[in-house]
Structure 1
Amino acid sequence: MATLVLGAIGTLVGGPLGGAIGATLGRGLDREIIGNGRREGPRLTELAVSTSSYGQPIPGLYGRVRVPGSVIWASDLAERRETSGGGKGRPKTTSYSYSVSLAVALSSRPIERVGRIWADGHLLRGAAGDLKTGGSLRVHRGHADQPADPLLVAELGARCPAFRGCAYVVFEDLALEDFGNRVPALSFEVIAGSATGVAGEIARTHGFDAVAAPAAELEGYIHDGGSAAATLTHLARLTPLGVRWTPDGPQLASVDLESEAPITLSDPVVAPEGDFGRMAGIERTRATLIEPISALRYYDSARSYQPGLQRAPGEAGGGAVLELPGVLNATNARALLMRTRLRERWQSDTLSLRIAALDPKVGPGSIVRVPDHPGLWQVTAWEWREIGIELDLQRHATATPVAAAADSGAAWDPPDRQAVGSLLRAFELPWDGTGPDGQPQRFAAVGAPDGRWAGAALYHLRDGALIPLGESGPDRAVGGRLLAPLAPSRGLRFEPAAGLHLRLDHEAPTFEPATTTALAQGANRFLVGEEIIQFARCEALGEGEWRLFGLLRGRGGTEHHALVGHSAGTPATALDERLWALPGDVEFDANSRLATIGHADDEPVYATLEGSGSTRRPLSPVHPRQRYPREGGLELSWTRRARGGWHWLNEVEQPLVEQDEIYEIGIGEPAKPERIWTSDQPRFDLSAASLADVAAAHPGQPVWVRQSGSYARSLPLLLTHLPSTI
C-alpha cells in the first residue's frame, strides 16, 4: 500500500521521476511493515567437517552428493613404534606412527556406493576405490537387513547396533602420518540413485501420494531435516509442483501440460454489489515483486561439489539469493534460475473469477484457460458460495527452454593418481674421497613408476628377518633401463659422438647439459650396470625417453666394465642427492639382500647389492712399461692410482690411501698364479737368469701386477707376456 500511496504522491509532486522515487521509498516501507515476502526453505551450507554432536540430524541423500557425515563411533589412537639403526656408535632412531578406527554415518536412507573421499581437502580415496594411505574401508549401504560391522562388534560386543536403515562407513586402522597424526576433516562423495524424482520420493516418505515429478537438471539433493512441506515448497519454486485431485484424494505431481489438454472455464457470473468483479464477475491484479530472485547458490558438480553461485543477467547485486542444497552444473543452474525468475514474474499476474459451474476435473493446481484472457492459468484456491464458485488463479508460464551458457570457473582438484609399487636398486660405489676410506659407500635407489607414491620403508634382510633401516622419503631416485646396447669403450678420452638411449621409470626428471668444468667436478653421473658414466648433452624424446650424448666412460675406476659394454635392458641410475645412503655398519654377505615396502606393495621388493667391495678395493695400476736391458733380464714398471684421488694434480704424487704400498706381481691366471712376487714400489726387475728360468717354466704366460690394499686386492694390470724362447 505504501508503494502505491507514495508513488502517487511522488507523481503529483515531481512527475515521472518523483513517482519512481516515491515507489522506491514505498517498497522499503512495505518491506519494513509487512516483510519482504521471502520464503525460507532448506539451506545450502559450505562443505563442513565430520562432527559427532549428539542429536545432529543425518541427512537423506539423493543422487550424487558430497557430505561430511557424522562420527558415530571412534577408537582411541593406536601407536606403533619402530626402531632402526644402532650399533658401532651409531644412535638408534625410534619413529612413531598413529592410526585410528572410526565409523561415520552418511545417509538416513540406503545408498548405492561411496565414491571419492576427501581428507583435509586432499583425496583420501580415489574414484577407482583406492585408499591413498594405510588402512581399510568398509561401506554399509543402509539396507534393512545389513549386519553389524565386525570391528564394532569386537569393540562393543552385544551392545553393538547394526544401524539398519542408515548408510555408514567404517575406517579400520586409518594411518594418520599424512595428517599430522590427527583425525582429518573428512567428506564423502555418495551415490544414492537418482535425484530427478526427489520431490516425489520425499512426499511418499511422509505418506503423501505422488507421481513422478522430474527435475532433470538435478544431479543430487541433500534433505537435511526440516518439514516435508517446507522442503516441497522450496523445490516447487524451482520445479513447478501441483496437487492433482483423484478419486483417491489429492496427489502431488509436476505440472505437466502434455498429459492432458487444459480445460476452458465457463463465463464469469455477475456478483452482488460489494463483491469482487461486481458486474463482470472477474478481477485481475498484478502483484509487485518486492525482492525478486537474483541469484542461485548450489553445489557445483564441476567443482567437486564446492558451493557455486549463478546470477541472473543484469543483476550485479541486490535481490534475493535462492539457496538450493542440490547438485547442478553451471549451465543448468543458470537456466533454472532464469526459468524461476520468469515463472515468478508471470505468477504475479493473478485473477479472481466467479463461475456458476465447475468441471469435476478442475481443482487447485489445475491448468485452465479463461475466456477473454489469453494464456494459461493455474488454479491456486477455490471456494463454494451461494452466488457461485470463486476461483483464485495465477498466470502459468510454459516450460520453454532457456539458453543460458555459464561457466563454473577455475577450480583446483587434488590429483587422483593410482598408487604404484616401489622400485629398488642397491649398489656400492668406489670411494669418492670424502669420509672414512674404510667405510663402504653403499646406496639404495628407491623409486617408483608414474603414479602416486609417498616413499617406502627400507629393510635389511638377514637370516630371514627384516631389520628396519629407515624411510626413503617421497623423493624418487632417477632410474631406468637402456633401450639400445652401449658399445665397449677403453674409457680413456672424451667421446663426443657416443650416446646413451634410455627410458626412465617415471617422466618427471629433467636433465641439463654440463660444461667440461662441471664434468670435472662430477656433474651428470650415471651408473649403467656397474660402470660410472658422465654425459655432457641431453635430448628429451618424450614419455620418459632420453638420449645422453658426449660421454666420459669408465669413471671412478670402472673402466673394466666399460671394456665389456652393456646390452639393452641394463639398469641405469642417476648418481645424485636422491639416493638413500645405507648405514656403513650393515653387513652384507652372499645371502643378504635389501628390501623395501611401500603403501602399494603387497610383498617386499628385494634387491641384491651390486658392486660389493667397490669402496675398499684399490684401483688397478695403470701405464704399464717394460724394458729389456742390454745385459739381459726384464725391467717392469707401472703407475699407482689411489682410491678417491681422481684429479691427478700436477707435480703432486697420488696419496697413499692404503696402509702400506704393496704390489703383487704374478705369472699365469690371476685366480691361480703359477708364480708370485711382492714389491713395495711401482717397479719389478728380473735378472737374466731369473727371466730364463721362468720363461722356460712358463713360456708365453702373462705377467701382471695388482695392488694389495688394506682391505682387498685390486684388479690385475697386464704388464707383458713371457717370451717363448730366450
Structure 2
Amino acid sequence: MATLVLGTVGRALLGPVGGAIGALIGNRVDHAVLGPPRRQSPRLAELSVQTSTYGTQMPAVFGTMRVAGPVIWATDLVEARGVIGSGKGRPGTESYSYSANFAVALSGRAIRRVGRIWADGRLLRGSTGDFKVATGFRVYPGTEDQPVDPLIASIEGARASAFRGVAYAVFEGLALAEFGNRIPQLTFEVEADPGPVSCDGIARALSPVVRPADAGMSVAGFAASGGSVRAVLDMLADMSGGQWVAEGAGVRLAVPGAGAGTVIHDDGMGAKGPGRRNVREMAGEDVVPSSVTVAHYDPARDYQIGVQRARRPGGVRDDRVELAAALDAATARTLAQDRLARHAVERVRRIVTLGPEALTITPGNIVRIDGEAGRWRVIEAAWEAMAVRLTCVPLGQGGPILPASPGRIARAADRVIGATRLIAFEAPPLTDELLSAPRLSVVAAGGPGWRQAELAYSLDDGASWTALGPTALPGIIGVVSAVTPGGGGALVDRRGRFDVQLVEDLADADDAALDAGANLAWIDGELIQFAQARPLGDKRWRLSGLRRGLRGTEAMIGQAAPGASFVLIAPGSVRTLDVPIEMLGRSVRFLAHGLGDPVEGVQASAAVTGLSVLPPPPVGWRCRRGADGRVTIGWTRRSRIGWRWLDRVDAPLGEETERYRITIGDRVEELTSPMWSGTVADGTRVAIRQIGTWGASAPLVGIVGEG
C-alpha cells in the first residue's frame, strides 16, 4: 500500500526517478507498518471460538455480524448453597448452584446494538431481547467517553477500566446450571452500522490513506481482523474483483466496470531503443483450478458458515477462499463463479513497453491496448532503462447473480418465555415410602421457552416466605374442557372421557407402560391414568381408556367439571415439600419467580388434607342381620403402602397399630379389627374410619339394612 502512496508522492516531488525511489521506500513501509504480504487475512475460524487467551485479536465489526469475542474480565464463580426436600421428619439434601460475572469484548470499533446471543449454540437471548436464563446484562458501545461498569468498579476499585474505544458486554450473575456450571461459549449478533456496508467504506474506516472511490462489493457484515491492515484491504479488493491504485497521497479502490480505460500504444521500447511488440505469455491450463470454493457467514443460517462452489471440467485442485463477511448464498456463489472465470482469463499476460509518459500508469489501472480486444488491468509496472514496462491481464466479464440455496438451516429455536403456571396439591405417595409429614407436590410450566422458576413457600398465609429453590423440570399443565361420565374405579373405564386443553403434546401408553406408571395425571383431586390420547386440534386432546380413582382417590370420581386443572405427573417434573403435621387442615402458599413473570411473582395454594399421610378410607361395606336380630358389620381395610399387591396377600398395615373408629347414629366406638356386631335399627347411618399414625381416614359410609 505504501509502495503506491510513496511512489505517487515521489513522482510528484522529484519526477520519475523520485517515483521509483518512493516506491522502494514504500515497499519497506508496507512491511514495517502494514505487514508483509504473507500475513494472514481475516479467516472464518477466527470468529468461531471464544477465548480469553492473552493477545487474542479483537475484530472490528462492520454492518451486522455474529462474533465470539474474548473474555476481558471475570470473577471467580459465585456459589450459592441451598437445601432441597427439607421438612419435618425428613432430612434435606444440600444443593449448590453457580453463577458467573464476566465481560466479553465484541468489537474494536463502536457498535449500535447487540441482538441475539447464543450460548453453546442455543439461544441465550432472543430476537426481542428476552433472556432464556437468569442474568444481568449491560452493553457498552465502544465510545471514547463510556463509563466504568458499576460491577467492575465495585470489585476492581480504582484500577477498574472503562475499556474505552472497545465495545463490550457485561454479564452479572449468569446462571450456569444449564451449562454444566461453566461459562458457555458465547456468540453475539452485533450491529455496528445500519444496512449493508461497502468494501470501500470498510477500507476507509480502517486506514486514513484510503480515498473515496468505487464502492466495490456490498456485504451485510464484515469482521476486520488478521495479521495486518494490508491483509484486510487485500481481501476487500479481492472480494470486489479490484485492486488498490495510487491517488495523490493515498490509494483508492479500482474495480472493473468503472470507466472505459486509458488507450495505450505498445511502442516496443527497450533498453536499447525500440524492441519487439506484442509480447504475450500464456500459462498452461493446469494453473486454473478445477473449482473455487467460497466460505462465508450466511445471515439466512443465523450467520453459520455457508459454502458455495463453482466447478469446471478438468483441473486437479480447489481454490478455497474464506471470507470473514456476511453474504447471502446467491452472492457467494456468484463470487465463486466470477473468480473461477477470472482464473481462466488471467492465464494470458500481455507485456507492453512504453516511454516515460506512461509513468502515470500504476498497478490497478484499467487500460485498453491498441490492437487488442477488450480491457486490461495493469498488475505490474516497472521502470527499466528509461522505459516503462507494464504487465497486463485481460478483464473477464462478471456473470449474473446466480440462484443458490443456503442449504439446510440448523437454527436455534427462539421460544418466548411465558409467565409461570403453578399448580400445588397434596397427593397420595406414589411409592411405598411411609411418610411422617404431609408432602405437597408442586408442578410448574410456562410454554415452550420456559425452563425454571425460583420457588418460595409460606406456612403463615404470606406473612413470611422461605426459599425452596428452583422448580423441577417443566411439567404439562392444562385445563379440562369437557367431561364424559363413565364407570368407577374397579375396572378400566372405557366409557368415560376427559377433553383437556394444553400447550404440550400427549402420547398413548400400552399396558406395560401403564403398569410402569406412564400417563399418570391429577385432575381436581383424582389420580387417573389414560391409555389413549387423541388429538382434537387446537391443542385439545381426548383422554380415554381410563384407570380411575387410583391410590385411594375414588371418592373424587365424577367430581371433575370443565375448568378443572389437569396435571401430568411425569418423572422429574414434580417438586415436593414436606410440611409439619400441625399444618393439617390449613393451607400452604407457594410463590414462583421466573424470567417471564411479573415483579410480584406467581402464586398457588395447596390445602393440607393429610392425603399423603393418612390411611385411605376402608372399602367393602358388608352388613348382615342375624336370626337373633343382631347386626354384623364388616369392611376391608386398606394401606398407604403396597398398592401394587405383588404378593397377593393382605396389604401391609402401614400404621403403628390397627384401629378403627365407628360411628353408629350417635354412638362412637373404637375397634382393633374390621368388624362390629350389635343391636341397631335398619336405616341407621354408619361411618367407619381407620385411625392411622397421624390421624383418621375419610369415612366409609353405609346404611344398616343395605348391603
Between stretches 73-82 and 118-127, larger displacement belongs to 118-127
Contact persistence 1:237–1:340 (CA under 8 A): no
Shift, 1:222, TM fit: 2.0
Shift, 1:511, TM fit: 2.9
Cα distance 1:458–1:391, how it changes in 2: closer, same or farther (>3 A)?
Answer: closer
Match of 1:461 in 2: 458
Deviations 1:519-550 (A, max 9, x none): 78876443210123343433234564321223
The residue type equivalent to 2:233 in the other structure is: L
Match of 1:347 in 2: 346
User: For residues 431 and 164 of structure 1, what CA distance do their matches in structure 2 show?
Assistant: 60
Cα distance 1:299–1:713, how it changes in 2: closer, same or farther (>3 A)?
Answer: same
User: For residues 547 and 268 of structure 2, what CA distance do their matches in structure 1 show?
Assistant: 110
Cα distance 1:94–1:623, how it changes in 2: closer, same or farther (>3 A)?
Answer: closer
Match of 2:417 in 1: 419
Question: Aligned to 1:483, what secondary structure does the other structure show?
Answer: strand
2:669 is equivalent to residue 678 of structure 1: yes
Question: Aligned to 1:99, what secondary structure does the other structure show?
Answer: strand
Q: How does 1:221-240 map to 2 (within 5 A)?
A: 221-240=222-241
Cα distance 1:162–1:376, how it changes in 2: closer, same or farther (>3 A)?
Answer: same
Match of 1:9 in 2: none
Match of 1:554 in 2: 549
Q: How does 1:103-252 map to 2 (within 5 A)?
A: 103-193=103-193, 194=195, 196-211=197-212, 213-216=214-217, 218-242=219-243, 252=252
Shift, 1:42, TM fit: 0.3
Deviations 1:226-265 (A, max 9, x none): 443333233322313356787x6665134253x6544544
Match of 1:480 in 2: 478
Cα distance 1:646–1:317, how it changes in 2: closer, same or farther (>3 A)?
Answer: same
Which of 597, 602, 606 lines up with 2:603 in the alignment?
606
Contact persistence 1:536–1:550 (CA under 8 A): yes
Shift, 1:170, TM fit: 1.1
Query: Which structure has the larger Rg?
Result: 1
The residue type equivalent to 1:323 in the other structure is: E
Between stretches 423-432 and 352-361, larger displacement belongs to 352-361
Deviations 1:407-433 (A, max 9, x none): 555564444433344433222234668
User: For residues 616 and 204 of structure 1, what CA distance do their matches in structure 2 show?
Assistant: 74
Q: How does 1:205-604 map to 2 (within 5 A)?
A: 205-211=206-212, 213-216=214-217, 218-242=219-243, 252-255=252-255, 257=257, 260-262=259-261, 264-265=263-264, 267-269=265-267, 271=269, 274-275=272-273, 277-278=275-276, 282-287=278-283, 291-292=287-288, 294-296=291-293, 298-301=295-298, 302-314=300-312, 318-353=317-352, 365-380=364-379, 392-401=391-400, 403=402, 405=404, 408-410=406-408, 412-430=410-428, 434-436=432-434, 439=436, 442-463=439-460, 464-469=463-468, 471-474=470-473, 476-487=474-485, 491=489, 494-507=492-505, 509-514=506-511, 524-541=519-536, 544-563=539-558, 565-578=559-572, 580=574, 582-584=576-578, 586-587=580-581, 588=583, 590-598=586-594, 600-601=596-597, 602-604=599-601
Between stretches 74-83 and 455-464, larger displacement belongs to 455-464
The residue type equivalent to 1:101 in the other structure is: N
Contact persistence 2:454–2:593 (CA under 8 A): yes
User: For residues 183 and 384 of structure 1, what CA distance do their matches in structure 2 show?
Assistant: 59
Contact persistence 1:296–1:324 (CA under 8 A): no
Contact persistence 2:520–2:570 (CA under 8 A): yes
Question: Aligned to 2:687, what secondary structure does the other structure show?
Answer: strand
User: For residues 593 and 123 of structure 2, what CA distance do their matches in structure 1 show?
Assistant: 22
Contact persistence 2:39–2:228 (CA under 8 A): no
Cα distance 1:640–1:164, how it changes in 2: closer, same or farther (>3 A)?
Answer: same
Cα distance 1:485–1:39, how it changes in 2: closer, same or farther (>3 A)?
Answer: same
Contact persistence 1:271–1:277 (CA under 8 A): yes
Between stretches 131-140 and 177-186, larger displacement belongs to 177-186
Question: Aligned to 2:373, what secondary structure does the other structure show?
Answer: strand
The residue type equivalent to 1:566 in the other structure is: A
2:638 is equivalent to residue 642 of structure 1: yes
Which of 693, 699, 702 lines up with 1:715 in the alignment?
699
User: For residues 116 and 611 of structure 2, what CA distance do their matches in structure 1 show?
Assistant: 49
**Identity, % of aligned positions:** 31
Shift, 1:484, TM fit: 1.0
Cα distance 1:578–1:544, how it changes in 2: closer, same or farther (>3 A)?
Answer: farther
User: For residues 53 and 160 of structure 1, what CA distance do their matches in structure 2 show?
Assistant: 20
User: For residues 646 and 403 of structure 2, what CA distance do their matches in structure 1 show?
Assistant: 77
Question: Aligned to 1:480, what secondary structure does the other structure show?
Answer: strand
Contact persistence 1:432–1:643 (CA under 8 A): no
Shift, 1:505, TM fit: 4.2
Cα distance 1:361–1:609, how it changes in 2: closer, same or farther (>3 A)?
Answer: same
Match of 2:13 in 1: none
Question: Aligned to 1:162, what secondary structure does the other structure show?
Answer: coil
Question: Aligned to 1:345, what secondary structure does the other structure show?
Answer: helix
User: For residues 649 and 348 of structure 1, what CA distance do their matches in structure 2 show?
Assistant: 86
User: For residues 216 and 152 of structure 1, what CA distance do their matches in structure 2 show?
Assistant: 41
Q: TM-score, normalised by structure 2?
A: 0.79
Question: Aligned to 1:373, what secondary structure does the other structure show?
Answer: coil
Cα distance 1:133–1:586, how it changes in 2: closer, same or farther (>3 A)?
Answer: farther
Contact persistence 1:479–1:573 (CA under 8 A): yes
User: For residues 243 and 424 of structure 1, what CA distance do their matches in structure 2 show?
Assistant: 65
Question: Aligned to 1:526, what secondary structure does the other structure show?
Answer: strand
Cα distance 1:138–1:291, how it changes in 2: closer, same or farther (>3 A)?
Answer: farther
Cα distance 1:90–1:610, how it changes in 2: closer, same or farther (>3 A)?
Answer: closer
Shift, 1:74, TM fit: 1.9
Shift, 1:336, TM fit: 0.8
Question: Aligned to 1:342, what secondary structure does the other structure show?
Answer: helix
Contact persistence 1:200–1:252 (CA under 8 A): no
Cα distance 1:153–1:289, how it changes in 2: closer, same or farther (>3 A)?
Answer: farther
Contact persistence 2:137–2:170 (CA under 8 A): yes
Contact persistence 2:458–2:464 (CA under 8 A): yes
Deviations 1:658-685 (A, max 9, x none): 6344343344xxxxxxx33426363454
Shift, 1:339, TM fit: 0.8
Contact persistence 1:636–1:719 (CA under 8 A): no
Q: How does 1:32-51 map to 2 (within 5 A)?
A: 41-46=40-45, 47-51=47-51
What is the RMSD computed on CA atoms of the aligned residues? 4.2
Deviations 1:544-596 (A, max 9, x none): 43212233433433333224x32212112234534536354545352422344
Question: Aligned to 1:706, what secondary structure does the other structure show?
Answer: strand
User: For residues 113 and 517 of structure 2, what CA distance do their matches in structure 1 show?
Assistant: 55
Shift, 1:646, TM fit: 5.8
The residue type equivalent to 1:705 in the other structure is: A
Question: Aligned to 1:397, what secondary structure does the other structure show?
Answer: coil
Q: TM-score, normalised by structure 1?
A: 0.77
Cα distance 1:39–1:316, how it changes in 2: closer, same or farther (>3 A)?
Answer: farther
User: For residues 717 and 324 of structure 1, what CA distance do their matches in structure 2 show?
Assistant: 82
Cα distance 1:662–1:394, how it changes in 2: closer, same or farther (>3 A)?
Answer: closer
Match of 1:17 in 2: none
The residue type equivalent to 2:346 in the other structure is: Q
